[in-house]
A and B are shown apart, each in its own frame.
Chain A
């Protein structure tokens, strides 16, 4: 099973700041890494697919990069509505796995 480890677990950020979340895979997964945003009492929503491809309708301040075992999600100029938990997810091999989540709080 491929283990995904996110860092940090929690981040408290001022609006307009830049946020970077890292996801490390226990083995190479190529670019089969996706990012989701989940707000309280809501279903997750896809932000980035295949490491760096933005999903339709997602604000341009969200971007992803990486390949192999190290990936990053960047939120440029954080907005209040971005308060949420962010998860990475690998679809390189079954069982699909998720990172433990990174909670982003707005100061």
Chain B
């Protein structure tokens, strides 16, 4: 089955760190660029980061630049998001998402930043 499985979310204090993971299966992971997209509770979708298939090109939204780091391991068919210096406004469901046109979404993992 073609799928993305997100994990790693949880409750973290402001200023803390968290690492999200996304496990891909059912397709050739190394052929596709990947993204992280988030959705704050009751709000709309926000793209936050992009990584090309070979990791040669990486982009971030201004809202996370300098705090978040996207990476991937094609051998392990996995995508990651290292989140540092977390703020209350980072509270959201975080989805990994395949390709520029998002044909495939993970189920999402909830990150809650609160003291």
- Tell whether A and B belong to one assembly: yes
Q: When A43-B95, A94-B59 are in contact, do A34 and B45 touch as well, CB less than 8 Å?
A: no
Nearest chain-B residue to A38 (Cβ)? B45
B56 to chain A, nearest CB (A): 15
B75 at interface by CB-CB < 8 Å: no
Complex CA distance for A50 and B103, rounded to whole angstroms: 12
Query: Considering the complex, which residues of chain B in the window 65-115 have a beta carbon less than 8 Å from any beta carbon of chain A?
Result: 95, 100-103, 105-108
Nearest chain-B residue to A50 (Cβ)? B101
Q: Write out, one digit per residue, whether chain A residues 60-100 have a CB within 8 A of any chain B CB (1) or not (0).
A: 00000000000000000000000000010101001111111
B50 at interface by CB-CB < 8 Å: yes
Complex CA distance for A15 and B95, rounded to whole angstroms: 31
Q: How many residues of B contact A (CB 8 A)?
A: 18
Instruction: Pick the residue among B45, B61, B62, B100 that contacts A91 (CB under 8 A).
Output: B100
Interfacial chain B residues near A43, Cβ < 8 Å: 95, 105-108
B21 at interface by CB-CB < 8 Å: no
B44 at interface by CB-CB < 8 Å: yes
Residues of chain B whose beta carbon lies under 8 Å from any beta carbon of chain A: 35, 44-47, 50, 59, 61-62, 95, 100-103, 105-108
Interface contacts beyond A44-B95, A45-B105, A46-B103: sample of 14 additional A-B pairs, CB < 8 Å, sorted by A: A34-B102, A36-B45, A36-B102, A43-B95, A46-B102, A91-B101, A95-B47, A95-B62, A96-B50, A97-B47, A98-B44, A98-B45, A99-B44, A100-B44
Q: List 16 A-B contacts (CB under 8 A).
A: A36-B102, A38-B45, A44-B95, A44-B102, A45-B105, A46-B101, A46-B102, A87-B44, A89-B102, A95-B59, A95-B61, A96-B50, A98-B45, A98-B47, A100-B44, A101-B44
